[in-house]
Structure 1
Amino acid sequence: MCRLAAYLGTEIPLENIIANPRHSLLVQSHDAQEAKLRVNGDGFGIAWYGHLPEPGLFKDVLPAWADTNLRSICRLVRSSLFQAHVRAATTGATSRDNCHPFTYGSWSFMHNGGIGDFPLIRRDMELLIPDPYYGARRGTTDSELFFHLLLTNGLADNPLTALQTSITQVLDLVDRHRATDKPVRLTCVFSEGTRIFAFRYSNDGLAPSLYRSESLDHGGRAVASEPLEGQSARWKRLQENMLLEISAEGTIERQLFPDAMPAVPASGASAVPVQDRAAAGHG
């Protein structure tokens, strides 16, 4: 599993989210508390927005704590909207192309979790992607392919509908291939440069953790895999089956699937009550 964080608000140095807090993303890269793996050392990436529509992007395969450039960049680069990710590889080799965030035009996207039995459905997923998006794909992860599926299904026009369509397609492929031994777990954060979207979804009730903050000291809002200050009243766990939208006007939460039935565990998985998930080690 991986750890991630994103920020929207007044312009601040990247280090205010990535490096400085007591439980910053940099700390989480080697001491995660709510993940299967405490260490996320298979690369990192940052996407930040400035004066151009397209985000800047900095990624590498070094562990975040070992890259001597990262702290300097985070100290000197300022942005009002940025995303950062530290990777623990599940699918795809340890390479720069497989590090998150992934970008296309003004969009940036990062993911924590996995599409169960991805090798069995990968080819059919790829067939859903038209040439313009498929040709822009650089890596081999389920995460990037799911991002391009969202783009295919109209992410720019309606993120909620794109998510509903894409998740349904993935679950249909899993069912068609009888690939039910491993769950589908999607905790994703993405942006087009003015808003941050975040959601948690799984078919076994064990989507990787994600928290949203109330207003931070510098007036902005953030989402993170784990609270950046440690446990705090101003960090709230995002519920599964919810799409969070953060903008300058505030936050909106909408159900992904309003008529969804309670999640049914995949074969071999056991349901764990929400309060016990962190103890059970689910990322």
Structure 2
Amino acid sequence: MCRWLAYSGTPILLDTLLYKPAHSLIDQSLHSKLGVETTNGDGFGVGWYTESNESPALFRDIGPAWNNRNLRELADHVHSPLFFAHIRASTGTAVQQSNCHPFRYGRWMFMHNGAIAGFPLMRRDLTMLIDPGLYVDIEGTTDSEVMFYLALTFGLDQDPPAAVARMAGTVERVGREHDVEFPLQMTLAITDGERLWAFRYSSAHTSRSLFYSSRVEALRRLHPDVAFLQDISEETRLIVSEPLGDLPGAWNEVPESTYGIVQSGADELHPFAPAAA
């Protein structure tokens, strides 16, 4: 499986979260505590938005994140108000740049931890359901990218939660047609550069770990001596596969079969269930 983080809020250096925390994403690439694998070294990727460009920039590579000098250099210089970072542990597809997350289409960005069980059996049926106008943009061979393009096909532009629900329902239907009992395992993040959606769901209802950060206002009251909390806005939020440190009160587990929305104003949590496409 994989580890990832999504950040939305005050523009910060990528280095602030990728490298500096005690259990940063770079540390997790070698020493994951909650993942299926301790080591996540089958590639990595970061994607970020700037205020002057709707489409996100991507930097992805096939080597491990912990010793990539270009990532270290980039993280020291790029500021962003919204970025994704992902470290990959392959579930069977090739270790190649086009298979590294995040994935991008227009202004949309997507990353995933989990797997479609029995994906080689289901690949043809699932890809045949992707809009032909979108299919030509698929570059890699992962189940994750197929999930993204199915969500785009099912109306991600109009209603992201409904599109993801239809994608999940389709994967489960096709999986069971191939006698796969529990076809889907996913924690995923999607953004259009303004809002951020995060989903935690699995067919067996034993989903991979996912956490969101507490409100900055509450954390300032708990930890008035933490300088980082004084420099960010009250709308700043992090969603992570596993906590970046052990600051008391900082992390909350996303409930099973739930999705959340990080947005201007009040954030939201809602139940999630697959739907018929």
What is the Cα deviation at residue 91 of structure 1? 3.1
Q: Please, which moves more after superposition, 170-179 or 149-158?
A: 170-179
Q: How does 1:249-268 map to 2 (within 5 A)?
A: 249-257=265-273
CA RMSD of aligned residues (A): 1.4
Q: Which residue of 2 aligns with 1:160?
A: 161
Residue 248 of structure 1: CA displacement? 2.3
Alignment correspondent of 1:193:
193
Q: What letter matches 2:242 in structure 1?
A: E
Q: Distance in 1 between matches of 2:259 and 2:106?
A: 22
Per the alignment, residue 13 of structure 1 pairs with: 13
Contact 2:176 2:183 in 1 (8 A): no
Match in the other structure for 2:78: 77
Which residue of the partner structure matches residue 237 of structure 2? 221
Instruction: Give the counterpart letter for 1:229 in structure 2.
Output: G
Task: Spell out structure 1 runs of 4+ moving beyond 4 A.
Answer: none
The offset of 1:258, in angstroms, is 9.5
Measured after TM superposition, the shift of residue 66 of structure 1 is 1.3
Q: Secondary structure at the match of 1:42?
A: coil
- Which residue of the partner structure matches residue 269 of structure 1? none
Unaligned stretches of 5+ residues in structure 2: 217-228
Give the Cα separation in 2 of the matches to 1:258 and 1:99.
Answer: 26
TM-score (norm 2): 0.90
2:219 paired residue number: none
1:44-64 deviation per Cα after TM superposition (whole angstroms, max 9, x unaligned): 000000111100000001100
**Residue 48 (structure 2) aligns with:** 48
Equivalent AA in structure 1 for residue 187 of structure 2:
T
Count of aligned positions: 258
Q: Amino acid of the residue matched to residue 80 of structure 2?
A: S
| Corresponding position of 1:28 | 28
**How far apart, in 1, do the equivalents of 2:207 and 2:122 lie?**
20
- Residue in 2 aligned with 1:143? 144
- Shift of residue 144 of structure 1? 0.3
The answer to whether 1:235 aligns with 2:251 is yes
Letter in 2 for 1:132: G
Q: Which residue of 1 aligns with 2:221?
A: none
Query: Structure 1: any 5+ residue segments left out of the alignment?
Result: 260-283
For the residue of structure 2 that corresponds to 1:30, the secondary structure is: helix
The answer to whether residue 114 in structure 2 is matched with residue 98 in structure 1 is no
